[in-house]
Structure 1
Amino acid sequence: MLTVLLLSSSAKALTAASVYAALLLGATTASGDTGADERKQTTQRPRSTPAQAKPLAAPNSTAKVVRLTNDSLAGQPFGSEPTVTELLHAGGTVVTRKPFHNLHEAGQVDTILLLRHRGNLFEFYRAPEKDLLRDASITNFETAYGQRLRARMTAAHRPAAGTTERVRIGDTERANYVSVTYNSGRLSAVHVEPYVD
């Protein structure tokens, strides 16, 4: 049974490869290539299919990438971290609430809270005893926490004027990360990825 299945799969692959080669030959002949070119193409390996193709590079793939290790900055990028209560009192809005079964306490259901404040997004893990920041994307630095973040980033790294850089700041344990994007030498976005167990 297994042999029949393998032979069937091999036959399908061979048929697909033959059809692909025939299409390549037809396209080559139609474009006016010589027979020598056709023989050369049939001996070459066929191109990968779109499913196997590598993903396209990001638009700023030419940006310089800098990697830093800084335990203090990666562990506490805001200095004093904004809380759910502070963000809500300052005009933040809850985008979504999702229940999440606590992995350490049987029967306890906690909440994943996505909160937006002045264009910035925060994700918190809310348990009865505490709120833990899981993720933050900051693009508006006019807030108090944004200004603290900018000051700490400026102290850690100064890109050259007019350059586009991406800075990845991690701690020595590789648990907490902060990704920073500079456009034309100016801070434009910060993505905070703290470790949450």
Structure 2
Amino acid sequence: MFAVLLLSTSAKAFTAASFYTLLLLSACSPDGSGTDEHKQTAKQPKTATASAKPTAAAPGPTAKVVRLTNDSLAGQPFGPEPTVTELLSAGGTVVTRKPFRNLHEAGQIDTILLLRHRGNLFEFYRAPEKDLLRDASITNFETAYGRRLRSRMAAAHHAAAGATERIRIGDTERANYVSVTYSSGQVSAVHVEPYVD
């Protein structure tokens, strides 16, 4: 009985395998029928759907970037640079303090200080002997340092009215950089990136 059941199951499996093989062979026939026809009909709705979709508007022109070299502006964009003491006494707040191992003095731990003042962000490298500005992002120009910065950057480049432009000012040694964004001919944001060893 077991042998009859095994033969019956084998015959059914062989018949099913033969049937699937026959289907696959007919689908891959060299006369272009079968699968190729299915692919062509499958592609047609996609093409029709793609052409029926409205095309996305092309992105507007990106802001024009102008590169300038100016040692004075890249090295001292604020003129007199704001200090940690000055910013804290004018209402600035410390956002974070991170210890940082001094690369030149063995065993000395300095501090990276992130400070916010009236919407502007400053990052200072604090060592016992001095504070060094590492980075500043200025968008509020109502402060004394903001007015000085805006005045110096406006004099550096006259942006086209109504256009958004960016300038990147570097020094000749490519160590200090100032990136300025102009909107409608006015300075709207400044990013200061001084070199700190």
TM-score, with length taken from structure 1: 0.71
Q: How does 1:107-186 map to 2 (within 5 A)?
A: 107-186=107-186
Structure 1 Cα separation of the partners of residues 96 and 180 of structure 2:
25
Q: In the alignment, which residue of structure 2 is the partner of 1:105?
A: 105
SS of residue matched to 1:31? helix
Write the deviation string for residues 144-174 of structure 1: whole angstroms up to 9, x where unpaired: 0000001111111111111110000000000
- After the TM superposition, which parts of structure 1 deviate over 3 Å for at least 4 consecutive aligned residues? 26-29
Q: In the alignment, which residue of structure 1 is the partner of 2:91?
A: 91
Paired residue type of 1:111: T
C-alpha spacing 1:65/1:32, structure 2 compared with 1 (3 Å): same
Q: How many residues align?
A: 148
Unpaired runs of 5+ residues, structure 2, are 1-37, 46-58
SS of residue matched to 2:181? strand
C-alpha spacing 1:60/1:128, structure 2 compared with 1 (3 Å): farther
Structure 1 Cα separation of the partners of residues 150 and 125 of structure 2:
24
Paired residue type of 2:71: D
Paired residue type of 2:112: I
* Percent sequence identity over aligned pairs: 85
TM-score, with length taken from structure 2: 0.71
Structure 2 Cα separation of the partners of residues 32 and 156 of structure 1:
58
2:43 is aligned with 1:31 = yes
Structure 2 Cα separation of the partners of residues 60 and 114 of structure 1:
35
C-alpha spacing 1:113/1:179, structure 2 compared with 1 (3 Å): same
Structure 2 Cα separation of the partners of residues 193 and 181 of structure 1:
14
Structure 2 Cα separation of the partners of residues 90 and 60 of structure 1:
41
RMSD of aligned residue pairs (Cα, Å): 1.9
Paired residue type of 2:42: A
CA contact 2:118–2:140 (8 Å) conserved in 1: yes
Structure 2 Cα separation of the partners of residues 92 and 28 of structure 1:
67
